[in-house]
Amino acid sequence: MKILITTLLGFIVTATQAQLPKADIIPTPKGNVTIQPVFHASLVLEFNKVAIYVDPIHGADTYKEMKKPDLVLITHIHGDHFDMKTLNGLDLSHATLLVPQSVADKMPVEWKNKIVVLHNGGNTVQHGIPITAIAMYNMPGDSTVHHPKGEGNGYVLNLGGKRFYISGDTEATPEMRSLKDIDVAFVCMNLPYTMDVEEAASGVLAFKPKIVYPYHYRTPTGFSDVAKFKSLVNAGNSSIDVRLRNWYPDIK
């Protein structure tokens, strides 16, 4: 019998995990990148035997068939991105945790030697992978700012010469719009926390990634219209490959 549980997000999920979407393969001049969508804003990238977990939530059992993490990227402190219960259940014995300061401040002191803090605009190389932190935030002047500038990071990773952008929770900021040479992007869209599909499409059309995955599209009342997002993007630029995947396979 499946046991229903309610997450911090208010989602109803099952303790028996549903089938994850099929992994995608992105070829690069230096080997393939495997993209495994997991749940909401969680995904796993694998390149040259390096497993990169992004915002792992949803319980450690979700990841039990995957390679143990070598690098964990966390965008910010909200529970749908930073979940200590999931992290404690993972084998982090050989992992580096790349996080903003706000997340580092909430991690156990015994993890100190595993943590690398990156501020907006900062750069680092981890496991041979160049990474840049991109500011993620709600634009000033919004009636409710859920994500103040400077508290969280989006990330750009260079994997085999291709550039992967992970937006985190953001609006279509100047920093997003000015990105260059992005091959693969993961872009959020859920009011009232980030942005609507129109703004997300506008941002994507500004920086023109070759491939874009809408993710983080659950709202308090349902789901953002990712099909509309795809239509808007392709009406503006038919060469952008908009890939729709089910990031909520076990929500009832």
| Region label for 117, one of left (φ > 0), alpha (ψ between -120 and 50) or beta (otherwise) | beta
Instruction: Please state the rounded mean pLDDT for residues 217-246.
Output: 97
What are the helix (H) ranges across the chain?
84-89, 101-104, 174-177, 197-207, 226-236
* Record: fold of 22-242: Metallo-beta-lactamase; Chain A (3.60.15)
| Bigger pLDDT: 140 vs 5 | 140
Using pLDDT thresholds of 50, 70 and 90, give the confidence band for residue 146: confident
Tens-place pLDDT, residues 163-176? 999 999 999 999 99
Q: How does DSSP classify residue 150?
A: T
All structural domains of the chain with their residue ranges: 22-242
What is the phi/psi pair of residue 15, to 5°?
-65, -30
> Structure pTM?
0.92
Tens-place pLDDT, residues 10-42? 444 443 346 899 999 999 999 999 999 999 999
Tens-place pLDDT, residues 104-130? 999 999 999 999 999 999 999 999 999
